[in-house]
Homo-oligomer: A and B are copies of this chain.
């Protein structure tokens, strides 16, 4: 398979954009990525578009990518629409990677776009709820105590938090410190939905969502888009002397098998490390799926940054802060950058690309990082993740 390069990236600010349609958001991200790549729009040979919620939010299904791209004047090329819940963006990126790696195309677009806000807020929660088997909602963890008007996934994250607290003595304050860190990082990111650093007190005093998770420990509802121009090494040489390579693109789904002892995120990460022929110790930066703080806490262990049970100590050590040994979520993560679900996976790719290029501005990590990882998780089924998508980028 051929080497694959992320040639250009672009995104909108994530946030509540009542005046912008999916087309507006998609166009903005696309044009920025095209400009960043230095190519012409007409050089894009195919598009892979991730969106998870439009069907249930606006009624637009079936050809969402074509509709979005028609608003940017990008028509006539193959358009593949894909969805994988909160990992729709990285699924689109994976397909774009496969299209280049296979030799089928030389320049393609991966676009993730999502508009979650709607005058009827319940539509967003219905869309999120469809990230599980809707025929088996009653068996969803915590569903019996689920409160109307919020995402069922927060109940799931809450149960994971409680389990970690019980098993390893992780404290509420430790959990909250992930949100404090990510809010600080978000304050340095002009693309973030929330750009205000939060104190530990502010996080702990925010409204209870699902015990022990407070509002500021959870990612918000929002709108946004992110785009990546992906190309072959040969094409990349015409446009840049400092290409960022995709050295692993791994998608796995959870298993309903009781025999499956190994955690699915861990399984995906091990596969990615194997494909990229590196270990977690070779990475200098990570963007992980902190849809709520336990997502990041557990990722430390699942991705091999620390042994099981040590993730609380890792956040307390400061090592995952921007100035630390292995910065995690320098963008602010899903909690602060925001989580327009179909866009998140490509926003993670964008952040790692900026970090590897040294273009991350005030949140740039030190010592010229050489390799970074993204972890994007989507859906939940039969007690396991619907999909776990891991990408490793290297310069």
Where the two chains meet, the residues of A that have a C-beta atom closer than 8 Å to any C-beta of B are 1, 21, 46, 52-53, 55-56, 58-64, 66-67, 70, 73, 75-85, 88, 91, 94-95, 98-99, 101-104, 126-127, 130-135, 251-257, 260, 264, 378-379, 381-382, 384, 386-387
Contacts and interface: CB of A to CB of B under 8 A. Distances in A.
Given A59-B56, A83-B62, A98-B98, A73 B256 contact: yes
Contacts of A81: 82-84, 91
Given A52-B61, A62-B131, A254-B76, A82 B85 contact: no
B55 A260 contact: no
Given A1-B103, A101-B104, A102-B101, A63 B382 contact: no
Contacts of A99: 98
Contacts of A252: 76-78
Contacts of A386: 62-63, 66, 79
A313 B384 CA distance: 58
Contact of A55 (B55, B101, B102, B133): B55
A128 to B, nearest CB: 8
A381 B70 contact: yes
B76 A61 contact: no
Given A82-B82, A387-B79, A66 B102 contact: no
A210 to B, nearest CB: 20
25 contacts: A1-B104, A52-B61, A52-B62, A53-B62, A56-B59, A60-B133, A60-B134, A61-B127, A61-B130, A62-B84, A62-B127, A62-B378, A63-B83, A63-B131, A75-B256, A76-B255, A76-B260, A79-B84, A80-B95, A82-B82, A82-B83, A83-B83, A101-B102, A101-B104, A102-B102
Question: How often does this chain occur in the complex, in copies?
Answer: 2
B63 A387 contact: yes
Given A81-B82, A256-B75, A61 B70 contact: no
Contacts of A73: 256
A56 B55 contact: yes
Nearest to A73: B256
A335 to B, nearest CB: 21
B59 A126 contact: yes
A130 B1 contact: no
A130 B59 contact: yes
Contacts of A255: 75-76
B98 A55 contact: no
A341 B244 CA distance: 40
Nearest to A264: B76
A62 B66 CA distance: 18
Contacts of A95: 80, 95
